[in-house]
């Protein structure tokens, strides 16, 4: 089984990245685009297998950094199929201890840009602390966050959707070098769109919360107890499916947490699922080949191009905790 699950208490997760920069909504001409490919979604147990960066000056690419990384662990067939990075490719690459100093030097003091950039920042932050004892503290801009505010009626805001809807060149996805180029093009497109349509840049960050009731869910017994949701909330507008036993709370309580933050829950993995949350199913006698039916279905859908991520319980709760911590900083 290729996905590992690490469990930690709430207190252990608090202030895990105390020097992490701020999430900004800004439109600037000088910045660094970042993206990583990894063995999985959980920084606690997974590792980086590719890092790519672009230096942008005056809105143009001025420099590039790209390297594969030896994770010193096996890359699953699923990740190899998704990213094209095999164990043979990774084995010939330098380890993260050799790569991180060059990455930090390349980034410097720049504001960082990425799509769903919290994911990339978290992995680089943890790797830099472990490798060189220095935290990544740069502020960052997330094109996912901006797109959600500018285009609230879109069914999803994944990078490939932005590229398609903007009519931009579409190369490979799930390769960090291609993805930093896609992200750069999308950000510059959005900047031009704002200028052409004379949108007040300062008002984008002040777009009000949307008041909706979230009852559309396959788990029919779970209904929202509130109706005031924030589009920046990581659970907002997303469909979650759970498999296995959760440690921190009962599954029904986790599902209630989702819908109370504007998300939806399903009983089965479908084409509408955005996240499959893995609990502990080691004692489930129905599990064959080390994977539940839901996990196998999710892997198949991801390989077919669906906007779906497989995450551990730790990552699931960490998404909300990080959002609330950043929200508290801005209040």
Residue 105 belongs to some domain of the structure: yes
Which contacts qualify for 162-167: CB closer than 8 Å, 24 or more apart?
162/115, 162/186
- Segment 52-92, tens digit of pLDDT: 999 999 999 999 999 999 999 999 999 999 999 999 999 99
Same domain, residue pair 261 and 142: no
Of 164, 171, 119, 156, residue with least CA distance to 308: 156
On whether both 98 and 222 belong to a single domain, the answer is no
Is 322 a member of any domain? yes
Please report, for the domain that includes residue 285, its CATH number: 3.40.50.10190
pLDDT at position 209 over 50? no
User: Is residue 2 one of the residues assigned to a domain?
Assistant: no
Q: Which pLDDT score is estimated for 117?
A: 96
Residue tagged 């996240």 (tokens): 275
**Is the residue at 259 inside a domain?**
yes
Find the distance separating the first CA and the last CA of the chain, reported in whole Å: 42
Contact 56, 180 (CB under 8 A): no
| Higher pLDDT, residue 36 or 9 | 36
DSSP string, 217-283: -SSTT---S--EE-TTSTTTT-EEEEESB-SSS-HHHHHHHHHTTT-EEESS--TT--EEEE-B-TT
- Joined tokens for residue 211: 């008041």
**Contact predicate 293/270, CB 8 Å:** no
Bridge partners of 277? 242, 311
Per the structure, the count of domains in the chain is: 2
Q: Which of 174, 202, 230 corresponds to the end of one domain?
A: 202
Per the DSSP assignment, residues forming a β-bridge with 57 are 60
Q: Provide the percentage of residues in the chain whose pLDDT is more than 70.
A: 87
Least confident of 227-231, 271-275, 304-308: 227-231
pLDDT of residue 164 exceeding 70? yes
Residue 16 is predicted with a pLDDT of: 82
pLDDT at 18: 93
C-alpha pair distances (Å), 166 with each of 27, 187, 193, 203: 18, 11, 10, 22
Same domain, 269 and 174: no
This prediction has a pTM of: 0.76
Identify the residue whose tokens are 């004379």. 198
Domain region containing 192: 10-202
* Same domain, residue pair 146 and 276: no
Kindly state whether residues 218 and 312 are assigned to the same domain: yes
Block residue for tokens 């994977």: 291
Which residues neighbour 22 within 8 Å (Cβ) at sequence distance 6 or greater?
139, 140, 326, 329, 330
């Amino acid at each position: 089984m290729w996905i590992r699950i690490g469990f930690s208490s709430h207190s252990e997760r608090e202030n895990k990245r105390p020097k992490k920069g701020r999430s900004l909504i800004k439109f600037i001409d000088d910045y660094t685009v970042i993206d990583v490919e990894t063995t999985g979604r959980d920084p606690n147990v997974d590792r980086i297998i590719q890092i790519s960066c672009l230096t942008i000056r005056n809105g143009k690419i001025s420099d590039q950094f790209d390297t594969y990384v030896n994770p010193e662990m096996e890359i699953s067939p699923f990740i190899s199929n998704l990213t094209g990075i095999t164990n043979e490719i990774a084995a010939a690459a330098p380890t993260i201890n050799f790569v991180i100093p060059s990455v930090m030097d390349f980034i410097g003091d720049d504001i960082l840009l990425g799509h769903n950039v919290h994911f990339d920042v978290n992995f680089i932050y943890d790797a830099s602390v472990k490798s060189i004892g220095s935290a990544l503290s740069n502020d960052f801009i997330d094109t996912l966050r901006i797109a959600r505010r500018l285009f609230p009626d879109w069914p999803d805001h994944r990078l490939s959707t932005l590229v398609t809807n903007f009519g931009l060149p579409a190369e490979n996805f799930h390769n960090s070098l291609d993805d930093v180029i896609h992200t750069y093009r999308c950000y510059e497109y959005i900047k031009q769109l704002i200028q052409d349509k004379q949108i007040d840049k300062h008002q984008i960050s002040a777009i009000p919360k949307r008041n909706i009731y979230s009852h559309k869910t396959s788990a029919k017994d779970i209904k929202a107890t509130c109706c005031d949701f924030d589009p920046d909330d990581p659970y907002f507008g997303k469909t979650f499916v759970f498999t296995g036993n959760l440690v921190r709370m009962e599954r029904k309580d986790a599902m209630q947490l989702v819908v109370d933050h504007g998300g939806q829950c399903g009983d089965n993995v479908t084409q509408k699922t955005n996240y499959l949350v893995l609990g502990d199913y080691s004692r489930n006698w129905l599990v064959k080949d080390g994977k539940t039916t839901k996990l196998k279905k999710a892997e198949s859908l991801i390989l077919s191009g669906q906007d779906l991520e497989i995450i551990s319980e730790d990552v699931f709760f960490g998404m909300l905790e990080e959002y609330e911590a950043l929200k508290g900083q801005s209040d």
